[in-house]
Every structure is written in C-alpha cells, then in structure tokens.
Amino acid sequence: MGRLALAAKVTHVPSMYLSELPGPHHGCRQPAIDGHFEIGRRCKALGVDTVVVFDVHWLVNAGYHVNCAPSFKGVYTSNELPHFIRNMPYDYQGNPELGRLIAETATEDGVFTRAHDATTLDIEYGTLVPMRYMHMDPANRFKVVSIAAWCNWHKLETSRRFGAALRRAIEQKYDGTVAVLASGSLSHRFNDDGSPEASMHEISDEFFRQVDLRVVDLWERGDWKTFVRMLPEYAVRCVGEGHMHDTAMLLGMLGWDAYDRPAEVVTPYFASSGTGQINAIFPV
C-alpha cells in the first residue's frame, strides 16, 4: 500500500538556527542547512507526504511514544540552550492516521507503543530544527510525526524491532509516501562548561572524532554487519545521543545487519560544541 521513500540520519544542532541570525556565527552551519534543503528537495521529488522523525530530544522512561497531533504551532525556545534557539516560530500539519497505525503495528509486533493524537505535547528541537529547513521552500509542506527516541531505560534490540514494525505499518497499512529521519548526533560528549566560544566548532575529544570517522567509513562502504555489532558499545563509549535509539530504529526499519546499501553523505562530518555530526541518506 504505502511506500517508504527516503531514510536519513540527520543533525539538529541548535547552532544551525544561530547560523541564521546576524552576529559572529552567521553562516557557520550553512553546509548542514544545505544538507537539510537537499533532503527536503528529494522528499518532494519522491512524492513524500509525511516525514517521521526519531527525536532524541524527546525523553521517555517507559514504552514507545508517537506524537501525532493534528497540528503543531508555536514559538520555541530551547530550555537546554536558550541562547542558541530562542523565539523560533513553527507551524506544521501532523498526521494522526499514520501515527495511530505505527503504534498499532508496533504493539501487534510486541513493542508496546502509544499514539498521542489528542494531546498538548509539544515537539522538541530534534524535530523542529530539521523540519524548519525542509519546509523553507513553500513547495515542501510535509506532514510531521515525531517519535520519542531518547529511550532512557530501553534496549537497542527493542528499538530495532520498533523500526521494523514502523516499516510494516507504512507498507502494509498506510496509503501514502513517507520519509523517515533519525535526528541525532554521532558521538555526543559536549564541551565542558566554560570552554572558549571558538570550541563550538571543535570535538570534545580526539578519540570521539576518530571513532566517528571510522563509523562514517563503514556507512559509506555499506558494512552494516560490522556497524550493528559495534553499535551498543559505540553508544556507550562515545556517549551516543539518546543512547542512539534513533539509529537502532532507522537500521531496524532498513533490515538491520541484512541492509547492504552504502550511505550517501550529503553534509560531511563536522564537530559542533564537542559533538560529532552528519547528514547522510540511507538508500531505501
């Protein structure tokens, strides 16, 4: 019935919004923004109607959760970094039907999931930042569904199964075309408080950079068998954002260690406030 048209791992660093504003950091994240523009352009060309985002800034402590409200509208300031993202307006249409189908299918497959369609839940900046740039072209007006991916007490294996169920929901139950974004970093050890402002463009430890670069090499070679074997330890040793449940969901959706397509990097690896970042498309 439905079609999964595009999958990607994307950055959502708040300095992307700072990059828009006048001042010393104006333009500093243009390559990341351009990567989001490109992903949005491809979604439009593929006929995508809805973008599903695995958001590692939405923390949950039990179960799996889908924010599929009919609409999302407001003005957002980050409580984590209010000097980076402040007073950012947003206005998106949701997709309650798809959200309910995802929760229904995951629960059928043994991963208990709740869909929140009649809710006052806001969306977090792991969703808001990428969708901002993918919506900047007036021709690209996708519906949005946000899924909690900061899964604090969950197993990566369960998130793999959730991803597989999400694909089944799209392809067997939904009448439409969907893109899915894993919105989160590679290594995620922030710089210490008091670090100089210039360190916003540095990695917090060279070890993290070197492991990240090895991971990107595996992705570009399509060696997912090796990557999924290292993922649990990678998430721990390199302080993976949201414990890297977004990545486990994405790869579960694509076939896990049976997936064999090389990733296409659309924004090369870069450091941001100590963390490792990338925009990469995982061919479906």
pLDDT confidence of 179, banded at 50, 70, 90? very high
As a whole number of angstroms, the distance between CA 7 and CA 142 comes to: 15
Give, to the nearest 10 degrees, the angle between helix 156-173 and helix 245-254: 50
- Residue listed under structure tokens 């229904």: 104
In sequence order, which residues have a C-beta less than 8 Å from that of residue 252 and are 6 or more positions away? 159, 160, 161, 162, 163, 164
**pLDDT (tens digit per residue) in 196-210:** 787 889 999 999 999
DSSP state of 179: E
As a whole number of angstroms, the distance between CA 136 and CA 130 comes to: 10
Give 18: exposed, middle or buried? Use CB within 10 Å, 0-12, 13-18, 19+: buried
Q: What mean pLDDT do residues 68-81 have? A: 96
> Which strands sit side by side in the sheet containing 50-60, from one edge to the other?
113-116, 64-67, 143-151, 50-60, 177-183, 3-10, 275-281, 264-272
For the ranges 8-12, 133-137, 252-256, 259-263, the lowest mean pLDDT is seen at 133-137
Q: What mean pLDDT do residues 210-229 have? A: 98
DSSP state of 94: B
- pLDDT value at position 140? 77
pLDDT confidence of 195, banded at 50, 70, 90? confident
In the CATH hierarchy, which fold is given to the domain comprising 3-281? Protocatechuate 4,5-dioxygenase; Chain B (3.40.830)
pLDDT confidence of 138, banded at 50, 70, 90? confident
- pLDDT value at position 194? 81
Alpha carbon separation from 248 to 34, 44, 156, 163, 218 (Å, rounded): 25, 26, 6, 7, 15
Nearest to 128 by CA among 80, 188, 165: 80
> Can you give the C-alpha Rg of the chain in angstroms?
17
Does 148 have pLDDT greater than 80? yes
- pLDDT value at position 64? 98
Token output for 219: 């992705």
Does 66 have pLDDT greater than 90? yes
As a whole number of angstroms, the distance between CA 22 and CA 217 comes to: 35
Contact at 8 Å (CB) between 76 and 125?
yes
Q: What is the 3-state secondary structure (H, E, C) of 105-160?
A: HHHHCCCCEEEECCCCCCCCHHHHHHHHHHCCCCCCCCEEEEEEEEECCCCHHHHH
CA angle 44, 13, 278 (to 5 degrees): 65
* Residues forming a β-bridge with 276: 271
Q: Is the pTM of this model over 0.85?
A: yes
- pLDDT value at position 85? 94
Per the rule left: phi > 0, alpha: psi between -120 and 50, beta: everything else, 52 is: beta
End-to-end CA distance of the chain: 16
- pLDDT value at position 156? 98
**pLDDT (tens digit per residue) in 10-46:** 999 999 999 999 999 899 999 999 999 999 999 999 9
